[in-house]
Structures are given as C-alpha cells and as structure tokens.
Structure 1
C-alpha cells in the first residue's frame, strides 16, 4: 500500500522536512525565480507567442512537474529547444502571434503531455536507448546554433525573411546588416558580453535578473522605444507608401486565405471520415495551400523591402508630421516600418520593447480541440515528446550522478506529461526540463522539489504586481538571454572525440548536425537521419562482426593473428578462430565465411578450434550452419572443435543434439585445456579421451 501511495504521490518522499531543508529550498527557489521570469518571456518570443505566455508556462507546469517527477533538481518550464520546435511545427497552420497560433500552441502542449504520460505509464523510457549519444550531441549542437542564430534579426532589429528555411533566413538577415538599429545591437551585445563574463567571474550573481533590471531602466531613461501609428497619407515617399499599402493588402489577403484554408480542411476531413472522397474539395484545399504559400513568400519579400525604406520625420505646422524619404545628411534617427495596427502603418525610430504585459493569473480554460488539425500535429507532438524527454533525462542523469540520486526515467516522463497536460488548461505552451535552471537549483543547495514550487510562486507574484514595470524591457535583451543559454550547449570537442574513438559514431554525430542544420526549422529530420545511420552501423556490425584467425605453433602457443597481417608460423597444424558476436540468423553466413577463410589461409591445418567464450547466444540458424560446417570440414580432413562455450550456448547445442555431432571429445571446457590436448598428431584422433569438465572459461 505504501509503495503504491508513493507511486501515485511521489512528492510524499519530500517529507518530513527539516527547517534547514526548507530554508535551502526557499533560497534555491528564489534564485531560480530570478532566472525563470526573464527566461520564460524570452522563450515565449522564440515560440512565436506574446511574452505573457512565457509567464503562464513558468507557473503551473513548474509545480506539477516537480510534484510528480522523480528528480529533486529538475526544473520544468519553458526551454529553448521545445519552444523553437513548437513555433516551427505550427508555422504551416497559423501566423505566429495570432489567436489561432496561440490556440494551437496550447493544443500542442496538451498532445505532447498526453504522449509523454503514456510513454511513462507504459514504461517506454527505454525508447531513448535507440538514440545513440553521438546523435544526441550532434543534434544538440545544431539545435543550439539554430536557436541562437534565429534570434539574430531581433539582435539587429530587422525583419526575418521567413522563407521557411533557416539557412536562407540567416543569409537574408545578414544582408540587412546595413539597416541594423545600432542602439538595439548595443543592448543585445552588452547583455551577451555581461552574461558571459558574469558566468565566469561571478557565477553566483543572478546575471539574468541584473541585465533585465538594468536594460529596462536604461531603455526607459533613454526613450529607447519611439513608435508612431500613421496614415498612409502622411508618408510622402511614393515608393515607400506603395510598399506599405501593398504589404497591408497582402497581410489581409493572407489572413483571409488562412482562415478559408482551415475551414476547407475541416470540411474535407469531415467528408473523408464519412467515407466520401470529394475531388472538388480536395482541389480547393490544394489551391488554397498554394495561394497561402505564395502570399507568405510575397509578405516576406515586402517586409524586407519596406523596412529598407528609411524615412525622415518632418513636423508639420499646426501639429502632426510627414515622413519623407531619407536623404544623406538628414538629422535625427531614421524611421522604418515596424508593423501595422488596425491596418495603419506603425513607424519606429527606436528599438523593440516587450510592451504591455497583461496583469493577472492565467484563467482555467479548456484547450480548443481542433479535431481537423490534431492528426497533422501528432507527428510533431511525438517528436517533441521524445526530444523533450531526451533533454530532461540527460539533465536529470547528470545531476543525479553528481549528487548520488536515484533516477526513475519513467516517473520523470509521467511528471513531464502531467506538467504539459495541466499547463495546457492554464494557457501554457509546451514545456520541458531546463538545464540552466536545474543547475542553478543544484548549485544553490536545493534539497527537494519544493524549490520549484517557490520559483513558481515568484512568477505568480510577478504576474500579479510587477508586469507594468517590464514594459520598457528591450526585446534584444531577451534575445541575448536565450543566446547566452544555448551557446553554452555547443560542444564540438565531444564530437571530435567520438570521431577519434569510432569513425562510424563520429560520422553519425556530424551527419546529424549537418542534416539538422540544413533541414531547419524541421529539427526532427536530423534526429531521424542520425538514428537511422547509427542503427545501420549497428546492424552492419551485427551482420558482419569482427573475427580473428590465430594459427598455433607446434608447441600449441599462439602465433599472432593472420587477419591482422602477422606472419604465419613455420610449423602450424592447428588454427583457432575467435568470432566476436552471438551466432544468430543475421550473421550465421558470415560465421561460415570466417571458418572457410581460416581454412583457406591455413590449408595444412588438421583442426579448427572456435573460441566459444565470445559466443553469447546461438539460435536455430547458427546450429544448422554448424551442422553443415561439420560435414564440409570432415570432407576436407579437418575437425571442427569448440572451447569455453558459455552454459546457455552449450545447453542449446545439447538440446539440438549438436554436441554429439561435433563429438564431445572435441568440445573443451576452456581454451587452455584445448591447447594442452591439441598436440601434433593428436588433433583428429577419435581415440583421444574427453578432458574432465572444470567449468566455463
């Protein structure tokens, strides 16, 4: 009864708590909260959501993940990789930041949570054993690079081309470097430099909190945000006015097309479930999809072109202002298009700030179950569930090993699953375990998961009382916070070490890195390709395992290895074979090739001794292959022998009657005894008495 109670309510293991333990968790929770608030907002922008959703995802999920997880150090909440995967997965279905996009983000969190919960309940954490460590390292390096560089447009305050391909977008952002807003660059670069230096010189200082407070105060004091909503008539530059108007029309057309496409897809799936195949509706969906892609490409080009048109603000008599095309020598900062508000252009001469954050706690709401979209989201949810579990488990294992803590991966899956499920009812997007916040908790001396509850309380207090003070926080500061976190995950040295250990493992790691980078934002492709390659290498090693042929001298001592290029002895009547694998259907033919290779290399041998200590298992295919070899070698006047067979292998041979066919006098308990009995002139003598059994070698 007690066992099941602790399984259902694992947080009971926190009790009883001492005053010292509570004090340690309070301090650790406060330390984590200082990081959690700005990180949550930063990762929300990475997920394509308003910053307030980062706060929502930092509260309830952190509490639930801690209560039902197995690690006392793992902190659950928004993380960079899952946020990026969420944004990339939803990009085909809705415009980032729109109401539809927000609803789908919450729905995706629910799906991810259900899948993780099922994996944990059915104890399927073992699935992660199919992903090799080089693949994980290669993927992590690529994902860290993608996450960091995908925020470069925020760092420069230029529009992202949004072509759907990470490398193309990256080149497009670099091409806009001459239009960068240098005060924004200064905020981002200064934040990044401070966080790097602080982590090395003053690691216990809450650097993230420091840059948020300092950046907000400096932004407010200098008037960093300068925006003005205007009418098109106020733009006196004809080309710029035409661009702004066309971009506004394309945005409206895209919204209408996306809405029509969603409705058409819903009707198509409804008709298909009813057993109907309406070709006219399928053609309409295909046409709307093509139109949506065209409009997105058009919008991307127009945004970049419109931002390139720098304007100068000229005050008018009687109030108001006109905006003319900027000429060399014009005074004041250039004004550029920053977006639209109710169809009217918004011009800016400053940088982007967080802006108004709604005050108050997230309300309890059922996720909007869009049944027509759920089947399309399931593959992305499955990938996010596995990658999030991979990330959380690697963090937990590292901290558990450092602190000698027992870890239950399946319970961690349950905790992470419940965190996403419950969080989705409180407007949270997908969450997972955070390395940086977990490390801070461990370093601060956390004793139990209570620290995560304390950190969530800090977020709740922020949502209730502090959000108005975050208005002037520069977006570049949030981008730099994410960059500093993910660039610390880059570890090419380990990939190089894997290459030195095994070319195949190194290739799997580097190929995973390259494919992930090339296919971004479809990050799952890298993991799939890397895992497939690692599995292929494993299968090749199983189908064609290594074997070694070792001839014996006349006195029975080993004479080196023929297969390694060593010279053959002058008088060798026997040859031994070591086959480094189980003898099963996948490699039985290769075993036969190895035996024949040994005989071909050593035609004068009168006996071939198989060193059985390297055979862990044998199946029916292996037994039948040995039967055939007994006959073939006997025709060649050579005897097949075995030494040091393991008990399961010998028992299988006994049940198949193979020991009698080999000849029990030719099955030796150890390699040493085989060498002692195999002397010139005695190898094939059937009168040789069997040696006494002394146990396995």
Structure 2
C-alpha cells in the first residue's frame, strides 16, 4: 500500500525536489529569466488568442495559469508553458465547427470545455503510462504539420494585416482557400495605415533580432505601434484596434457546463489531437534543451504536467496550452536555473497585464498580425524539407501528405493522417523478412550474404533471421521455408541471436516446417537462442519437436553457439563439414556481404 501511494505521489514531487537545493543565487537568476520571458510572452499570448478566435486577454490568462502550474511539474526545468501557435490554430479549427466566434458566450464555453477535455485526456495518458505513444510520430509529421500550420496562420492574418474587417464564417472552401475566398470580396477595403504599421513592425522586429536575440522585439513593436496610434490620433476609422481589454479577473466566467453531449463528441477528436500535439511539442522542446544540460525527459511526467495545467486552466478561463519552443529556449538562454523561472514568468505577465491593460486598447491588429507573420514563417522548416526530399522519399511523402492535410482538411485530421502514415510505413518496413545466409570463408570466420533462390547442393544450410518475427512476416517466411524444404539440404540451421521476439503465428510456421523436415528424414537446428525466446518456444512445444539436443542457447563466445550447431549437424549427417558444405566456393567472392 505504501509503495502504491508513493508511486501515485511521484508526479507531485518535482517542485519539492527543486526546493531542496534552492538558494538566493538561483532565485535571482530565475527572476531575471522570468521577466525576460514575460515581456516576450505578452504580445505572443495576445496574438495566439487572436488565432484561437478569443479576446486577447484569454491568451494572457493562459500564460499566467498554465505558465505557473506547467513549469512546476514538468520533467524539464526550462520548459515554458502557455498559449502556442499550433495549439491556437487547432483550437479554432475544432471549435469553429460548432460555434461562430461572434457568439462570444457559446464560443468561449466550447474553448474552455476543450481545455478541460484535453487536460483530462493527458492525465489519463499519464496514469496509463502512455508517454511512449510519441514514438509513432516522426519528425517528418511534425515538420509537415507545423509548416501547414504556418501557412494557415499567415493566410488567416492577411485580413488583420491589411486592416480589413471580415465577419466570421461564410467560406465554402476549406483551409487556405477558404481564407482567400473570404478576403477577395473585401480587397477594396485595405487600410494604408494598417499596412504601414504592419510593415514597420516586421522591419523593427527583424532589426532588433539582428542586434540581440534576448531583446523583446515583438513587445517593442507592439508598444511603438500603439504609441503611433495615440500620437497621430488614429482610431477604428483608420485601422482596426485591439479595443478594450479588461484588467484583473474576467468579469464573466464562461464554464463548459452547458455543452451538449453531441458537441463534446465532436470536440473529442480535436482534444485528442491537441493532447498528442502538446505532448510532442513539449518532449521535442525538452529534448532540444536536455541535449545542452544533460537532463532526462520523462514523457509520462510531461503528460501529467500538461494535464494539470490544462485542467486547472479550464477553471480559470484558459485556452488549451502547451510548451513554447521560442519561450523555452529564451528561458534557458536568459540564465534560468530551475523550474521556478516559469513561475516568475507567470507572475511577471500578471503584473504587467494588471498595470498596462488599459493601454492595450490602442494596439493595432496589424501589429499583432505582423508578429504572427514572422512566427508563421519560422514554423516552415524549409531546410529540413529540402534535405529529406533529397535523401528519403518515404519521409518526404509523409511530410508532404501531412502538410497538404493541414492546409486542406480540418486541422486535427492532419495529425491523425501523419501518425497513420508513420505506423503504416513502420509496419511495411517491419514486415520485410530479414533472413541472411551464413557462409564460412576459407579463412574460417562466418560472413553473411543475401539469401538466394538456389543454394546448390549444400548438405547444410545455415541461415540467420533478424528483428521481430511477427504475423506480418509469416507469409513471406512460409514461402521461403517451403522453397528451402524443396532443396536438397539435409540440415537447416537457424541462428536467432539477432531475433528480438517471435509471435505465435510465426511459431506455427516454424512448427509446420520442422514437421515436414522430420517427415523427410531431415533435421532443423536452432542456435543463438536467448533465454526468454527459449522459454517461449519451450512452452509452445517447439523445443520438444525439434529435440532439445538440437537447440543451443546463446553463449558468450563469438559464434560459440553456431559452432556447437555445426558440430551437431556433423553428427546428424555422419561425416565432416568443411567450407564446401555450407558455401559455394566458386561464387563466394562475388557476393556483397552484409556484415
């Protein structure tokens, strides 16, 4: 009972463990790093709220609550949690299927409900220890999805960058084509003021970035854009503005209690995609930083941290959030020492928000759109895509299909399409039987060569099988064994040293082969059999069928088990075995060996 309670409490221990070695020096470094991240997170949070279709303050609520709780329980101490671009885009894609952002009450209820649903899914994944699920999502899927998300973000922000007010809905085409379809009828409403502010904001951020990556270019761009609005006396008639942003706690709470079962059912697919995407982002970010710090990433702990942050966030009017690569790297580069830098960042956002909320009214929407254009461009990893298109067609296909799915289908489908393709390609590769022929060179050592259709008239055929022998390779194995059975070899040796596992379907195929060989008065020998594999075969009855004297477990010596198998083959055929018995010397030198 005590061990069970200890295991249940384990995910709650990271902040306590950090406190044991905490001191003033680390605290001061965390405060400085937290403030640095906070000034970047404020314009980002507002911009990501814009993508999600909610008022700007909801992005800041998310930065405060999820930034605080997510950092406390994460396995990586430098990860910064809060609103992110891909999460925000997926939120909008999911919720806009059920409500129009113009219907504020219903839309916010659904967004908050989505946050709660995502958090619950992540906690269930953590409890079930399903962190290894992310192994089935390759970098090609992430790059394809992120690149598609970047295109969607940019396409969705053209209206704000151009200063055009377009009502939600009305598009008959999906994805990017829908954004273009809505924009074209209003092309004559472009605001020169908005475009000018947007271009100036982009130029300023790029210049500041060249000077110092630690300097808050986006925040400076937003502040100067707002100052320009005040200085020139511009208002909504000149360019769209953020408008009034309430300071402090939200005046009205939008809780998900009125969401119907049917709506929840529709949101479930998006919630799963958000949970999986959030996990992938967090672990990828954590691994990137861990490569510099030497820390260890625990996927199940990350699921727990994200789940806690989203569940608590749902009761504090948050949108679904995750880890941010930009803010996490900035947190590390700014000198953060522990996980409490994330908590200080959250406090910093809260203080600045409370003090400056009234000035947010003057921020031009085109300035936020400019920030999002730069973020969208950074999401498209041109270098990686170019490399895989030159080197790996399978990865390139996965990346391209995921990208096209992201820009043409409901966004959460892109994650599922990418994962499905990954698994399909993995199964295709895994179902290719790896069987090589072991031949003995005149100098003595064994070498491997590809198994051919014709084996000559060798008395002994020595084969090596590799990898996982599961039902996917059963048919190919049966065909090969049938051809081997029709040859003249009196003894067939299988070396299983590199065989990881054998399922019941393959065991049956081997059993049928052994039975046919026995009927023909021939023999099968196994060598290099690991202990766990020996137990499986013993329970199945295969060891008894082959004969215990013909099954040799793995041993420490190089090819020691193989030599025992050859000695046994010598006994069975009643003669000596030399190189010509297990190799065709005439063609040996022409083989391309697979060592």
TM-score range, shorter chain: 0.7 to 0.9
2-side partners of 1:149 and 1:450: how far apart?
37
Q: Does 1:628 align with 2:518?
A: no
TM-superposed deviation, 1:678? 4.5
CA distance in 2, matches of 1:65, 1:354: 28
Change (3 A) 1:26 1:596: same
Whether the 8 Å contact between 1:60 and 1:426 is mirrored in structure 2 is yes
Choose which of 434, 441, 445 in structure 2 pairs with 1:546: 434
Q: Does 1:18 align with 2:23?
A: yes
Secondary structure of residue in 2 paired with 1:406: coil
> 1:608, CA displacement in angstroms?
2.7
Alpha-carbon distance between aligned partners in 2 of 1:581 and 1:71, rounded to the nearest angstrom: 33
Residue 142 (structure 2) pairs with residue 110 (structure 1): no
**1:78 is the counterpart of 2:87:** no
> Residues of 2 paired with 1:377 and 1:179: CA distance?
35
Q: What is the DSSP-based 3-state SS (H/G/I as helix, E as strand, rest coil) of the residue aligned with 1:561?
A: strand
TM superposition score normalised by structure 1: 0.72
Q: 1:686 to 1:149 in 2, by over 3 A?
A: farther
How far 1:501 sits from its partner (Å)? 6.0
Q: Residue in 2 aligned with 1:126? A: 132
Aligned residues, how many?
561
Distance change in 2, residues 1:654/1:104 (3 Å): closer
For 2:532, the equivalent position in structure 1 comes to 648
Alignment CA distance shift 1:468-1:658 (3 Å): closer
How many Å separate the matches in 1 of 2:539 and 2:304?
A: 45
**Structure 1 match to 2:384:** 494
How has the CA–CA distance of structure 1 residues 583 and 178 changed in structure 2, closer, same or farther, with 3 Å as cutoff?
same
Query: For residues 585-609 of structure 1, what are the alpha-carbon distances to aligned partners after superposition, in whole Å with 9 as ceiling and x for unaligned?
Result: 4433322222334566xx4544332
CA change 1:371–1:627 in 2 (3 A) is: same
State the Cα distance separating 1:194 from its structure 2 match: 3.2
Greater CA drift, 632-641 or 460-469: 632-641
Distance 2:131 2:553 in 1: 40
For the pair 1:356 / 2:366, whether they are aligned, the reply is: no
- Cα 1:636/1:550, change in 2 over 3 Å: farther
The corresponding residue for 1:404 is 294
* Secondary structure class of the residue paired with 2:525: strand
Q: 1:172 aligns with which of 171, 181, 192?
A: 181
Contact 2:120 2:307 in 1 (8 A): yes
Confirm or deny that 1:135 pairs with 2:141: yes
Task: State the partner residue of 1:610.
Answer: 494
Give distance in 1, aligned partners of 2:378 and 2:42. 20
CA drift of 1:54 comes to 2.0
Deviation of 1:496 (Å): 4.8
In structure 2, do the counterparts of structure 1 residues 116 and 627 end up closer, same or farther at CA, with 3 Å as the change threshold? closer
CA distance 1:561–1:178, shift in 2 (3 Å) = farther
Counterpart selection for 1:580 from 466, 470, 495: 466
State the alpha-carbon separation in 2 of the partners of residues 650 and 6 from structure 1. 37
Q: CA deviation at 1:45?
A: 1.0
Match of 1:416 in 2: 306
Q: Unaligned stretches of 5+ in structure 1? A: 228-349, 690-697
Provide closer, same or farther for how the CA distance between residues 503 and 40 of structure 1 changes in structure 2, counting only shifts above 3 A: same
The question of 1:589 aligning with 2:465 is answered no
Deviation at 1:452, TM superposition (A): 2.3
Instruction: Say if 1:150 and 1:166, in contact at 8 Å, map to a contact too.
Output: no
Structure 2 vs 1, CA of residues 630 and 528 (structure 1 numbering), >3 Å: closer, same or farther? Answer: same
Rg (Cα) greater in structure: 1
* Counterpart residue number, 1:41: 46
| Pair 1:501–1:662, CA change in 2 (3 A) | farther
> C-alpha separation between the residues in 2 aligned to 1:68 and 1:413?
10
Shift of the alpha carbon at 1:552? 5.5
Residue 199, structure 1, aligned to residue 209, structure 2: yes
Deviates more, 1:584-593 or 1:1-10: 1-10
Alpha-carbon distance in 1 for matches of 2:29, 2:172: 48
Q: Would you say the 8 A contact 1:641–1:662 is kept in 2?
A: yes
Pair 1:610–1:168, CA change in 2 (3 A): same
Within 5 Å, give how 1:130-279 maps onto structure 2: 130-159=136-165, 162-163=171-172, 165-172=174-181, 175=184, 180-227=190-237
Match among 418, 428, 439 for residue 530 of structure 1: 418
Is structure 2 residue 341 aligned with structure 1 residue 455? no
Q: TM-score, normalised to structure 2's length?
A: 0.84
Root mean square deviation of aligned Cα: 3.4
Greater share of residues in helix: 2
Quick check: 1:561 aligned with 2:566? no
